[in-house]
Structure 1
Amino acid sequence: MKTMELNNLYEFTKKLTLLYIEEDFTTIKSNLTLFQKYFNEIITVKNPMEALEKVNNHNIDVVISEMNFTNFSGVKLLKELKDLNKNIIKIILTNEKNSHIFVETISLGINGYMIKPFDEEQFKKILDKFIGEYIVNKKDKSNLKLLKQYQEIVDKSTIVSKTDPNGIITYANENFCKIAEYTEEELIGKNHNIVRHPDNPKEIFEDMWETIKDRKEEWTGIIKNKSKSGNSYYVKSTITPVFDEDGNIVEYIGVRNAISSIMSDKRHLIDKIAASNLSLLVLIQIEEFEILDKFYNTKTLNEIENVFGLELLNHLPNGYIFESIFNIGNGKFALLTDFFNYLNSEQNIIDYLNDFVKRVKKSVLTIDEIEYDLNVIVSYSFGKESLYEDAKCGLDEVIAKKDLIKYANDSSIKEHQVAKNNLEVIKIVKIALENYNIVSYFQPIINNKTQEIEKYESLVRLIDENGKVLTPYHFLDISKKGNYYNKITMRVLENSFKILNKINTKLSINISSADIEKEETRNKIFELITTYSKDSNRIVFELLEDENVKDFQVIKDFIRKVKKQGVQIAIDDFGAGYSNFERLFDFEPDILKIDGSLIKNIATNAYSRNIVETIVAFAKKQKIETIAEFVENKEIFDILNVIGVDYSQGYYFGKPENLD
């Protein structure tokens, strides 16, 4: 029986009479305060003879008794109480030293043992466990009337049938007849397999009969049935054996719920989670569904999803059935159930889902005589807050790691922390933009022959509310998610062009392909070039390449247009990432900035040095200048001079500074 709410427990126990047997008056007085919270009527006695007299002459519901009496055996008292009224709830007060009491009283139908000193929580658990069962056993007229009402409700809301021990139908309610499309007369006397669909694996029924007939236990599972007209429908079935007084099976009662209609709206799933307490959610993804999406037309794909959704029910192991099933699109399905219901089933979730995955793998989905071999990957999570997000993160991790099953809560903790940190960064960026604390620092670029500063590179920085200066690593990529990246680009452009009034060298400004593709950014750049037209020949745009360029022609047109204004083009991070020699024909750069990962290892890594030498040799033939990044010491600088690199940039010559 499920755990009662405390108020409901009070409601039941207040109707009962308690007999409390205790010789010691002080102990009685101290325990009465607790007992009075649960019982309106309490009878206290000090010896077993009085107790037996009270049970004979009063309607006693609960007995709480000490076991150590003067001149009377506590075990004997319990035996006589059982003879007088076997339905009385009997609770023993004892201590750990009286362990033999447990052995002696087990056969007497004791409902609970309280170890002294006991507390209210211990007492409540004992009552909670047995009080409901006791009330059901009180066969008064009101309870019988309620039971009849319950039967009527079940009969109206579910599909019910009865069979004899051989599976011959002896009763079918109106709902059964309606969904099966048979009359009651057509069903009575027929074997239950009259509605059985041939698609059901024979193992389902072998397991069912072994459970209800051999083990004499209740069986629950999903069964595919067929109506009189040939329509298929699925039912969640619970079949229970009914026994006579000698323990022989006299009939079977089947209670079913139709579950053919699988909800297809993700919103329903989210709402269901929100309306529940703690839930267990399983997300199922048809493996490599995106390949099916490209291969088949929409109609075929929808049919695969719908049929698989129904067949999915057949593949669920019989140990537990989920209450709700959702088709949430793109080959994803969700199973949802109350977490504590599942916990009480004592089913191992890993074993359950592994069994499910194997069942799907062994199966073949047949649609219009075409067979499809489908596999699934699975993620599961339990809780309430962010339950769907947790399971989705777990599913993403399954795909990334090529696993089959993932417990999502472990990975989602990290995911939630990342998401929380991202939101904090976006807030910091927003505040910095509002307060004009997106600033530019400038790092010198040295002519290797003269060792004079001939250029500066503009580098974005963020100053937070505490005055701390943050590098792009801490905020730039995250800003793209918050739609602040373009605003940062605008601020950097303004800061960079303004500094032209304070320096007499050239100035390099980083621009990505994504920046150039935005018309707003291009317009801003051309506006600034026009405003600072006398200084346009001092501007260098360093192109940060991006493999996700949507319109390469826009990039080429931009380069051609700014070069006409005297602006130079540099390729940033050349020699690593996406950069390649073929791209140079499209960009026609004036400068190559050699990637820092090659430069910082050039003194110790012959491979890096060979690549740099190749780049420099090619650049000289094409009359393209070269700049080495990450020049950290004299040894690196000397090697670069030998190779013939034109410019150096790095901490050996200067860190980025705020020239304002």
Structure 2
Amino acid sequence: MNIDELNDIIILSKKLNLIYIVKDNTNKNNKLDYFKSFFNTVICVDDGYKALKEFENQSFSIVITDIEIKGISGFDLIECFKNIDENIISIIYTNNEDKESFLKTIDLEIDGYLLKPFIENEFFKILYRSIKKSIIKKENKKIKKDLKLLKQYNEVIDKSTIISKTDTKGRITFANDNFCKVSEYSRDELLGKNHRIVRHPDNPKELYTDLWNTVKNKKQEWTGILKNLTKSGKPYYVKTTIKPILDSKGKIIEYIGVRDDISSIMSDRKHLNDKIDSTDLSLLILIQIEEFDILDKFYNISTVDKIEKMFGYNILTYLPNNFIFEHIYNLGSGQFALLTNFFDFFDANINLNKYLEHFIKNVKSSVLLIDEIEYDLNIVVSYSFGKDHLFEDAKCGLLQAINKKELIKYANDSSIKEHIEAKKNMEIIKMVKIALDNYKIISYFQPIINNKTKEIEKYESLVRLVDETGSVLSPFSFLDVSKKGTYYNKITHRVLENSFKILEHISTKISINLSSLDIEKEQTRIKLFELLEEYKDDASRVVFELLEDEEVKDFEIIKKFIKKVKAMGVQIAIDDFGAGYSSFERLLDFEPDILKIDGSLIKNIASDEYSKNVVETIVSFAKKQNIQTIAEYVENEEIYNILYDLGVDYSQGYYFGKPENININNSII
């Protein structure tokens, strides 16, 4: 094998995910470390059925397996893999040299048969041949598929998309049927003309300066929203992509423009909900034509229907030009919805209230002409951002706006400072997204001390966010706001990964906070059980602290979860016990191993006899039930001594140590 082929293998292998099945996962000679340095991701299991489960959960490019493995044979396993993904690269790595196994390998079209002991050059030859074969196979399949679908794609695109071509001077050389239909111009009227023929004067000059600088000077693709005019003078909006076509020398020979008409309005509430569900975080604006019920009674059904449809068609023309919503929904009864990705609007750096004030003003100053009769309309709007209960929040906001005779209502918050709060919340959500994308959601760890030995026996995992300035923020700054979208779950999963990962580097127990919201989410429960399975040898060093929460929706789910994790060796602690709405009755359901006494009782224990008596009662009860106790907020020696005398088992607080990151291999977990 020459050096070029070897370099190709090294480069290509770094893109591959390997699932490696061995007879004995504890065998130090199983080449696991070698494969980990060679491939992008390596999952190693010692059971065929576990391998199948892993294969269902994530994508693998290559499988290396012995013939004799736990569960099912390596041959049967590869056959199952190929039924799921016929392109997977398969290699047998075994001591078995019998003829029957070789024939079986050929019959199953397995890519390579590698005999032990491992010979690197032989492995490289098999891998190079297999990767090359896989690439060729994928390319051939893609070509066949592309040729078969190309005609169908062209037919669909031509019917649903506005397409045009222009020469280097900007003259239209091609316009498809849909362009003619939407613009109301014939093909003969368009050909040879500049696109100025459909240009709306509302588009700022800067937009076209940016467009031509991108496609002509930079020779790059440009995408944006343009406002156009039909031949009869009706405005319409198109989401436009213009791409310069280059010859072999990089010279522009023509431009192709592909546009989607976004002026049309979708109906049906289900479409709106589906779009909200498919987006991480959305901005929703609800619009209500004022006194529509009176309109409905005053005019006949046909006229009201025309008013509603005409208003909906004109919504985009009423919106300020600095941001156009791509999704409009007619919800009936004079109500409409505008929906966009939250970050698209946020990145436009627009004051939302001023934007909506401008929108309302445009509607108020306009007149709808229907059957030669003029109609004046006024609207009320509400807006909300998030994911869960987004429509319900905006709907409530709309009702409040109507009842209070307000024109604009922010539905997520009803306080007098709602607009300031809304902007602040938006900034926090953006900050959380950036932190998640850049792995800046980290964990700090605070020591928990055995009161008798003063030795560290546990660490509590506490979430932190590192912002773009490098500042470390506590959960108080971002966690509650994160619950408006999907980011809370993502934060939880990142913290869980950090917490379990630290088990490899410490010998003590790790305590992880879980709320009822966490446990009730099936996705989070699945993640937890996956981690417990992966770290099953360390499960006895894991403590789940159940946070106080009045909004428990399903106690049965939580009770079943507790029972299952305790069977795996995990301990259960109840956090903030003794204050708020915690009760001894809950202990019957949760059967905890540990009670964490609420900090409000501990920090005043030296001066408040009531706090001391409550703590003493909790400790006495806990000892009778064989439950350990931990005191939070242990800030000084005086508090520690009182707790020691009362018989509290553990202490946690600044007296013994602040939460800090644990630096591992020059990276923060």
- Do these two structures clear the TM 0.5 threshold for a shared fold by scoring above it? no
Bigger radius of gyration among the two: 1
TM-score class, shorter-chain normalisation, is: 0.3 to 0.5
TM-score, normalisation: structure 2: 0.41
TM-score, normalisation: structure 1: 0.42
